[in-house]
Structure 1
Amino acid sequence: MTTIATQPETVLEFSDNFLLIDLCGEHDRHLATIEERLDVQILRRGNRLGIIGEDESVRLAEGVLRALYERLESGRTVEPADVDRELRMPAVAATAPEAQGGDQIALFKGGEAERIEIKTRRKMVEPRTAAQKAYVQSLYKSELAFGIGPAGTGKTYLAVAAGVNMFMQGHVDRIILCRPAVEAGERLGFLPGTQEEKVDPYMQPLYDALNDFLGARDVAKLREQKMIEIAPLAFMRGRTLARAFVVLDEAQNATTMQMKMFLTRLGEGSRMVVTGDRSQVDLPRGVASGLHDAERLLKGIPKIAFNYFTSKDVVRHPLVAAIIDAYEADTP
């Protein structure tokens, strides 16, 4: 791809017309998004795109288009979420040191940014922001890692992907996923069924992530073989978890004693990940969040990694980031 500078227009020339079609999106929807967000005009002429606007806006639009085209050249797709990510955090490189682990995690260096991918059975998972890249690297480097931030930032999804990857590579013997069974602001009453059926609704987000990476049939089989466990946090008491990848999700709803109990389950050859959102505590009034206390007490320990996310790291619908910002702005 070459750049031809003219005034008052900057022209980008693309060598592959098929990739250019994907870059523009269906009915040029990707170009329309860039035009609206950066206040530029993009003109499509054959294998060229002309950008008209203020100098800074043109520069940003050019960087976004280059990054998206490089993504297509590497064999990946461009979705609206990818366009949104580049617009919010264009050409951002990961700031964390490279992860150790060889076959555990794929690192690709090219252009201005470092690309990271996690291989699972059904798909390759790619962290999309600098904070997510640093988080993934800490999952492989640290025996205990915290991911703290708002909903939709990929904390749990990336942790489960890393767990599946380590399990596939033989670095751990099992995956254990748990959550506090706390109702989110409403009383659900007594649920019918067996003990497993009663807690399954609380665990559904974890099932969803596993099914994405392994498929429902394989997940069911591995659960039967006790290689995958999904259980409420209370079920961890009294256990020592060796050679396991353990994720505590929604950790803001664990009490201080529950958090201490969970963290002290760490055994030889294991990895632990704790994820939570400090703005969504559903504990009864007056009960302290174990996530808050763990952050306060453990932050000075060198081998424990703390990773933080903001609305800029949201990878759901773009409106989710705006909603989070609005609520944070209204917080006294």
Structure 2
Amino acid sequence: MNELIIDLSESNPREFFGVRNKNLAFLKKHFPKLKIVARGSTMKVFGDEEQLQEFDKRIQMMLEHYGKYNTMDENIMERVLTSNGREDYDNAKGSGDTLVHGVSGKIIKAKTPNQRKLVELTKKNDMVFAIGPAGTGKTYMGVAMAVRAL
């Protein structure tokens, strides 16, 4: 059984692992064959060499994200853990669907077909009028697209 030691002194382990170690539990669920032990600012991982390499690669991507945006949640972890590699994760962050990165790195993008239509029409036209019920994202998307244009 091989061992991997990861030093988390560059980041805040409490915030990285989440409230009540929620993020750590998510990692353990994603890597069930590894034994993950976190103490203070050190994480020790025991298991097969191949899985340890994959785990180290994913953790480094997460630490890079945490260092940049100072936040870590299940959504970010899921994106990093299910990506095909650094290129795929980076492309997902900067994909054409992404309008802007909000507070703490949250991705703001069109979620409904009508919001996507609004974004496409805005790219093609100087002025677009949107009408519809309250709460459908008209103003939210408009502000996101305005911030993107800056």
**TM-score computed with the length of structure 1 as normaliser:** 0.33
2:143 match:
214
1:174 match:
127
Identity, % of aligned pairs? 12
Give the C-alpha shift of residue 35 in structure 1: 0.8
Contact kept, 8 Å, 2:18 with 2:24, in 1: the verdict is yes
Structure 2: segments with no counterpart, 5+ residues: 145-150
- In structure 2, C-alpha distance between the alignment counterparts of 1:61 and 1:92, rounded to whole Å: 13
- In structure 2, C-alpha distance between the alignment counterparts of 1:162 and 1:91, rounded to whole Å: 28
Q: How many residues align?
A: 138
**Structure with bigger gyration radius:** 1
Greater helix content: 2
Q: How does 1:17-32 map onto structure 2 within 5 Å?
A: 17-18=11-12, 20-32=13-25
Q: How does 1:1-332 map onto structure 2 within 5 Å?
A: 8-18=2-12, 20-39=13-32, 40-94=34-88, 113=90, 115-116=93-94, 118-119=99-100, 126=107, 154=111, 156=113, 159=116, 172-175=125-128, 200=132, 207-208=136-137, 210-211=139-140, 214=143
2:147 match:
none
Give the C-alpha shift of residue 34 in structure 1: 1.2
- In structure 2, C-alpha distance between the alignment counterparts of 1:161 and 1:77, rounded to whole Å: 30
Contact kept, 8 Å, 1:11 with 1:51, in 2: the verdict is yes
Contact kept, 8 Å, 1:68 with 1:83, in 2: the verdict is yes
Deviation readout 1:118-144 (Å, 9 max, x if unpaired): 338x767638xxxxxxxx9xxxxxxxx
Give the C-alpha shift of residue 163 in structure 1: 5.9
Give the C-alpha shift of residue 68 in structure 1: 1.3
Opposite residue 11 of structure 1, the aligned amino acid is I
Structure 1: segments with no counterpart, 5+ residues: 1-6, 95-111, 128-135, 137-152, 178-195, 216-332
Opposite residue 174 of structure 1, the aligned amino acid is M
Deviation readout 1:15-52 (Å, 9 max, x if unpaired): 3242x322211111111111112212211122221112
Cα separation, partners in 2 of 1:160 and 1:82, compared to 1, 3 Å: farther
Opposite residue 27 of structure 2, the aligned amino acid is I
**TM-score computed with the length of structure 2 as normaliser:** 0.65
Moved over 6 A (4+): none
What is the Cα-based RMSD across aligned positions, in Å? 4.0
Contact kept, 8 Å, 1:34 with 1:61, in 2: the verdict is no
